[in-house]
Each structure stands twice: as C-alpha cells, then as structure tokens.
C-alpha cells in the first residue's frame, strides 16, 4: 500500500525513521517504592522502538501529581535513573522517545497525596468512578482549588521534570494538557469555576498552561517540547461549553511557541474515521495550527494514510495496537494481521500482557 506513513520525517532537528508514533499508554508497572521504571520497562519500550517516535506513559511531575498507583515518576533521582535505562535501551535500538509530563489533578485520593490532603484541581470537583488506594478501591473524593502558591509551585514542578527528562536522555517532553487532568481542568469552563486571574475568560483559563510552557522553555529548547490536547471531551461530566472557541484560542496562541508538535487526542473508532471523516476535530485545528500536528485516536492504516494524504496531520499516533503489537510499524508495512489486546492486563501486574506479546519474523530481503 502506498502511504506516507512509512516515510522518514524531520521533527525539528530530530530525524524520525517513519511517521508512526507510539501514543502515551498508562501501564502502571512501576511496582516499587521509588515508583521508578525498571529493566522490564526498558524492555517494553525497546520492543516498540521501530516506531518513528515513542511518547512515554504519563510520568507524574511531583508527589501531588500522583493518582494512578504504579505509574512512574519524573521528580526523584531514583526515578530518573530508571528512565535512563529506558532511554539508553530505546536509543540503542534506533528509536526516539519523549517523556510525557503528567499531573492527574482530581483523579487521585487523599490516601495517595502527601499529608493525606485532598487532590488538587482548578476548582472542587468529584470525578465519577473509583480509585485504587492502599485501602483498596474507593470512590473519588472532591478535589480542592489550588492556591496561587500551589499553582506557581506546580508550574515549577513541570519545568523541573522537563529538565530531569532531558538529563535522563529523553529526546524531548510532552506536556499532558488533555483528558481532564490538571491543565485541562483549568482550561474547561465546565470544571474551572475560579474568579481570580486563572478563571472566567478563556485567556484566564489558559493562563496556567502558558505559564507552564513559558517556564519549561526557560529550561529546554522549544523544539524539544510538545503539547497534548483533547478539544473534544473524553471524561464524563467534564467539558467546555464552547470547545472550538476555547481550544481554537489556545491552538492559535501555540503558533507563537514554535514547539516540536501539537498532539490532538480524540475518541474515535477506525470505522468512524473512514466512514464519517468529517466528524474528526483534526481538520478544524489543522487550519489554525502552523506547526507539526499529531493525530491520535482510533486510527487504522487506511485512516492514517488518508489523514496524511489530505495534509491534516504530519504524524499519526497509535495507542492500544502498540500494546499487543510491539512491532506495529512492521505489521502495518507488511499488511500483517494484528494481535488483539488483552484488556485485563492493561494495568498493573508483571510481564504478562506487557512484554510477552509476539513479534513476527521478517525477511531482510
């Protein structure tokens, strides 16, 4: 199949072997007191290094950013030593990897927070569902509004984690501004009820995001920084009333930052993408954004090729298919059958469903 998906691509001064991106995938295998990546984590990413670019699972930027048990951090020396094993292994395999910087906001619990305080967010909000704690699965609690001091500290935490990532050998970082986590909590008027300079107008609600970017760019070059957004709500009860206006403002302002890329996440199926192509948000934001754009969510080989051919995106990110197909790039290129994933092993556990999925043998001729 003729497609631009398999072509090399220049991400600034980073040369990617193809346009296939491994999307950030929370796997929660850092089952150690340090919450650090380990040798098994390194093998997991090494197996997937034929992707043009790997974006790591979300790595919490501070103890306050933690909410998903077993997720690796990016703020201590031990954590960065763990990640160094990963970056070294990926680079030896010829891959490129960015670290995703994560603060879960209200998706935590007081039992997971320093001092057993309520989780942080833009405003008090109680997510639906349950969270795994030391006392088992418990309902989410109401978050508390971040004070201005906590906002400024969180901005610094993002920048410190970005600096740590580069020292640990990552090729860049991705700021997680999507999926109703803390940055998105500030962006959406459905979750931000503040009356200070961080609430109200879209300019105020976006202030936190741009403070974070400004602080990070004092530490590392802009071409090593990406941003992930989800302009279409992906969590129940959390949305913006005017997403095209809100995220359109943000995306337009991002043009001034000369970032590595804008990564747009949307919940679609491959069938939706092919049969209802005009329902995707990506073409709308492509008209606004001048830089490199990654499209993620429900892509097949056909839909990915179509989006690239129409110049609506420059890179295509695949999520769940990479869980069960470590050699996804080769399978796509060879039109090989994809291994189905086992949802029961997505999170926690050991090697099962993590590093034991088969890879096909390919002829070198």
Instruction: Give the per-residue pLDDT at 365.
Output: 43
Query: What's the Cα-to-Cα distance from 6 to each of 64, 131, 273, 287, rounded to whole Å?
Result: 40, 39, 20, 24
Q: Calculate mean pLDDT across residues 349-358.
A: 96
181 catalytic, yes or no?
yes
* Beta strand ranges found along 177-260 (DSSP E): 225-229
Query: pTM for the whole thing?
Result: 0.97
CA dist 253 and 209 (Å) reads 11
Summarize pLDDT for 204-227 with one digit per residue, the tens.
999 999 999 999 999 999 999 999
Catalytic residue from among 44, 66, 181, 289? 181
* Domains within the chain, CATH numbers bracketed: 4-345 (3.20.20.70)
Structure tokens at 286: 């492509």
pLDDT digits 0-9 by tens, 122-146: 999 999 999 999 899 999 999 999 9
Asked if 345 and 331 count as a contact pair (C-beta separation under 8 A), the reply is no
Query: What are the pLDDT digits (tens) for 166-182?
Result: 999 999 999 999 999 99
For residue 337, pLDDT over 50 is answered with: yes
């Amino acid at each position: 199949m003729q497609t631009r998906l398999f072509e090399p691509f220049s991400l600034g001064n980073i040369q990617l072997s193809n346009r296939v991106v491994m999307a950030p995938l929370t796997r929660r295998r850092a089952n150690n007191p340090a919450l650090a990546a380990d040798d098994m984590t390194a093998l997991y990413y090494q197996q997937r290094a034929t992707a043009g670019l790997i974006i790591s699972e979300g790595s919490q930027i501070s103890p306050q950013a933690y909410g998903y048990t077993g997720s690796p951090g990016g703020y201590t020396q031990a954590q960065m030593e763990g990640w160094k094993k990963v970056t070294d292994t990926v680079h030896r395999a010829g891959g490129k990897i960015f670290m995703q910087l994560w603060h879960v906001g209200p998706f935590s619990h007081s039992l997971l927070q320093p001092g057993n305080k309520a989780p942080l967010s833009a405003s008090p909000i109680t997510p639906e569902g349950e969270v795994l704690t030391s006392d088992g699965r418990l309902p989410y609690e109401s978050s508390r509004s971040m004070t201005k001091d906590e906002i400024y500290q969180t901005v610094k935490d993002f920048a410190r984690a970005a600096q740590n990532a580069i020292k640990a050998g990552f090729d860049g970082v991705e700021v997680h501004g999507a999926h109703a986590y803390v940055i998105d909590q500030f962006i959406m008027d459905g979750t931000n009820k503040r009356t200070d300079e961080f609430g109200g107008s879209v300019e105020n609600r976006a202030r936190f995001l741009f403070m974070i970017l400004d602080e990070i760019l004092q530490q590392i070059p802009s071409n090593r920084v990406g941003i992930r957004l989800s302009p279409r709500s992906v969590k129940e009860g959390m949305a913006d009333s005017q997403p095209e206006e809100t995220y359109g403002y943000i995306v337009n302002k991002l043009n001034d930052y000369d970032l590595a890329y804008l990564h747009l996440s949307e919940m679609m199926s491959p069938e939706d993408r092919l049969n209802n192509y005009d329902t995707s948000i990506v073409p709308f934001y492509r008209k606004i954004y001048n830089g490199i754009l990654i499209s993620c969510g429900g892509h097949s080989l056909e839909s990915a090729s179509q989006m690239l051919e129409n110049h609506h995106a420059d890179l295509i990110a695949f999520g769940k298919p990479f869980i069960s197909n470590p050699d996804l790039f080769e399978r796509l290129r060879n039109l090989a059958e994809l291994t189905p994933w086992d949802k029961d092993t997505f999170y926690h556990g050991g090697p099962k469903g993590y590093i034991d999925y088969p890879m096909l043998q390919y002829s070198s001729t």
